[in-house]
A and B are shown apart, each in its own frame.
Chain A
Amino acid sequence: DGGITQSPKYLFRKEGQNVTLSCEQNLNHDAMYWYRQDPGQGLRLIYYSQIVNDFQKGDIAEGYSVSREKKESFPLTVTSAQKNPTAFYLCASTSPGQGPSLYGYTFGSGTRLTVV
């Protein structure tokens, strides 16, 4: 079945280390997104990419980096510059050609990152 796979489900990081979260989709979607979820704050957009080799900053991009070398993959790196990285991270995708307005967005099951 098609879907989005995020790995790992739980991740622990020491302060000062970079860490990369994986997001892979086999839906043939062009656009991919990273959201951060914190209790009481909903979901906030970190980065998004509408096409391979191109991506844009979202609302809270500082301390994060991404790449989009393949259509199916959109990894997120949480750098040591991110002051408060402990959160739940969600990856999503959609296909502009099919209309996100009609079909919405597909989400992965998330990665919970904890800084220890």
Chain B
Amino acid sequence: GNSVTQMEGPVTLSEEAFLTINCTYTATGYPSLFWYVQYPGEGLQLLLKATKADDKGSNKGFEATYRKETTSFHLEKGSVQVSDSAVYFCALTKGSGGSNYKLTFGKGTLLTVNP
């Protein structure tokens, strides 16, 4: 079945540091890949996505590139802010149709950014 493995946290950084959160996946075919962010006490918000190999998703200074050859979708940001403190989830879904309409999540990575 499908699975997502992401870097164990917690990750603690100082403001303006570089962020990488690793994510690798196992899936048949060509899944779509997502990063979701969860702020304390809230639901999940879509941060960025990529639907095919070599696509780069980007939003709010975050980026991730869909690497088919390494089955990876690592999240990066060049300069983090205190407001980026949250839990980040990597997820995948298969293309379309039937029971493929399910998101499979990684376990989440807690990021804390200190001023």
Task: Give the B-binding residues of A (Cβ under 8 A).
Answer: 4, 6, 31, 33, 35, 40-43, 45, 48, 50, 56, 58, 90, 92, 94, 96, 99-102, 104-110
Closest 6 pairs (CB-CB, A-B)? A101-B32, A42-B107, A107-B43, A107-B44, A109-B43, A104-B46
- C-alpha spacing A57/B32, complex, angstroms: 23
Bitwise interface map of B from 53 to 74 toward A, beta carbon under 8 Å scored 1, else 0: 0000000000000000000000
Docked CA distance A31–B93 (Å): 14
Tell whether B103 is near chain A: CB-to-CB under 8 Å: yes
Contact B42 A109 (CB under 8 A): yes
Q: How far is the CA of A40 from the CA of B87 in the complex (A)?
A: 11
Within 8 A of A (CB), among B29-43: 32, 34, 36, 41-43
What is the minimal beta-carbon distance from A31 to any residue of chain B, in angstroms?
5
B28 at interface (Cβ–Cβ under 8 A)? no
Least distance between B32 CB and chain A CB atoms (Å)? 4
Minimal beta-carbon separation of B104 from chain A (angstroms):
8
Tell me, rounded to whole Å, the shortest Cβ–Cβ distance linking B6 to chain A. Answer: 9
Q: How many residues of B are in contact with the other chain, CB < 8 A?
A: 25
Give, as a whole number of angstroms, the nearest-CB distance from A16 to chain B.
Answer: 28
**Within the assembled complex, what's the spacing in Å between the Cα atoms of A83 and B100?**
29
A101 touches B43 (CB 8 A): no
Q: How close is A95's CB to chain B, nearest CB, in angstroms?
A: 10
State in angstroms the CA–CA spacing of A105 and B47 once bound together: 11
- Residues from chain A with a CB closer than 8 A to the CB of B43 are 4, 6, 90, 107-110
Contacts of A43 in B (CB 8 A): 44, 89, 103, 105, 108
Q: Which of A41, A99, A102, A105 contacts B103 (CB 8 A)?
A: A105
User: Does B22 reach chain A (CB closer than 8 Å)?
Assistant: no
